[in-house]
Amino acid sequence: MRSTWLLPTALVAAVGIAGCGDDAEHGGGVQDMSVPDMTARDLLPPVACNPTDPMSDGTSCAAPGGCPAGTIGVNLDGACSCFTTCTTDTECSCNRLCDPVTLVDAGAGAACLPGNLEGTRCGRDSNNMPFGHVFCGQLAVCVNADPAAMFRYCSYKCESQTDCPAQTTCQEYLVNGQVAGNVCAYNSGVNGNKDLGQTCTNIDVCKTGLLCDGVCRTQCDGPGASCGGLGTCTRLDDPMNGKVIGYVCK
């Protein structure tokens, strides 16, 4: 189950989803930097996962006959849907997590639940409204990208810098004050040497809330997100390692 975790300069927010009954322990995304019930499986990049989501589940719990065999009902995005049961992350595609759910009248279980994609915004806003599915898929964790802990994005887990896309650094994060693993944290910040609209390269550092795409552009939430009249929210890739840096308005 998911709550929130802490980087030295970034908060990780990965939030679990309640079952079609109730799960009071699932409630993260808050900004008080509370520490979750983490296990080792949360801290390392997956050894292997299927990059292709078969998309063979997700039917409504209200369909005739209820949930098919091998699935469990989960209250996701305000509706009960049937998701594939699991016991470990490796049984799920990379964009999902094997996340525990609690069913009030049916005991406990776990399901392959979809998470937000790498580089997209995650967690909840100041009104506790979710960004997408709130938490990230198993390749990433939800990390603060600003000192005020207002903007969180799904950032790749890493073991070394080679695991990270450009404009990020593989750095330690902490749980209860102890180093728990590493995450590809954004380099952009208050000490960046480039402002909005200034020409930049991947060796430059844009100010907080910006990413370099030839010029420093405003970072946005993900596919289809609003850019407030500043263009379209467009994916920015690192062609050298095939990973997503993030999304920018252009």
Write the pLDDT tens digit of every residue in 185-217.
999 988 899 999 999 987 899 999 999 999 999
> Among candidates 172, 152, 142, 173, which has minimal Cα distance to 3?
142
Q: Which residues contact 68 (CB under 8 A, 6 or more apart)?
A: 57, 59, 82
By CB neighbour count within 10 A (0-12 exposed, 13-18 middle, 19+ buried), where does 69 fall?
exposed
Q: Tell me the mean pLDDT in the region 25-48.
A: 41
Would you state the structure tokens that stand for residue 123, as one six-digit string? 């967690």
pLDDT reported for residue 26:
30
- Looking at residue 223, its pLDDT comes to 95
Residue 30 pLDDT greater than 50, yes or no: no
Alpha helices in 42-177 (DSSP H): none
In this prediction, residue 28 has a pLDDT band, given cuts at 50, 70 and 90, of very low
Distance, in Å, from the CA atom of 108 to the CA atom of 224, rounded to the nearest integer, reads 35
- State yes or no: pLDDT of 128 exceeds 90: no
Q: Select the highest-mean-pLDDT range: 80-94, 121-135, 214-228.
A: 214-228
Neighbours of 128 (CB within 10 A): 9
3-state secondary structure of 162: helix
**pLDDT at position 193:** 93
In Å, how far from its chain's centre is CA 90? 17
Cα–Cα distance, 19 to 33 (Å, whole number): 24
Which phi-psi region, left, alpha or beta, contains residue 53 (left: φ > 0; alpha: ψ -120 to 50)? Answer: beta
In this structure, are residues 29 and 35 in contact, taking their beta carbons and an 8 Å threshold?
no
pLDDT band at 12 (very low <50, low <70, confident <90, very high): very low
For the entire predicted model, the pTM comes to 0.78
> What pLDDT is recorded for position 184?
93
Look over the chain and give the mean of its residue pLDDT values, rounded to a whole number. Answer: 78
pLDDT recorded at residue 215: 97
Q: How many residues appear in the chain?
A: 250
Element housing 245 (H / E): strand 243-249
> How far apart are the C-alpha atoms of 127 and 248, rounded to whole Å?
24
Interval 3-19 mean pLDDT: 33
- In the predicted model, is pLDDT for residue 40 greater than 60? no
Please give the average per-residue pLDDT across 148-170, as a whole number: 90
pLDDT in tens, 60-116: 988 898 889 999 888 877 788 899 999 888 889 988 988 887 665 444 688 998 989
Strands 79-84 and 71-76: antiparallel
What are the tokens at 14?
Answer: 């990965």
| Whether 152 contacts 142, CB under 8 Å | yes
Look at 43 and 8; give whichever has higher pLDDT. Answer: 43
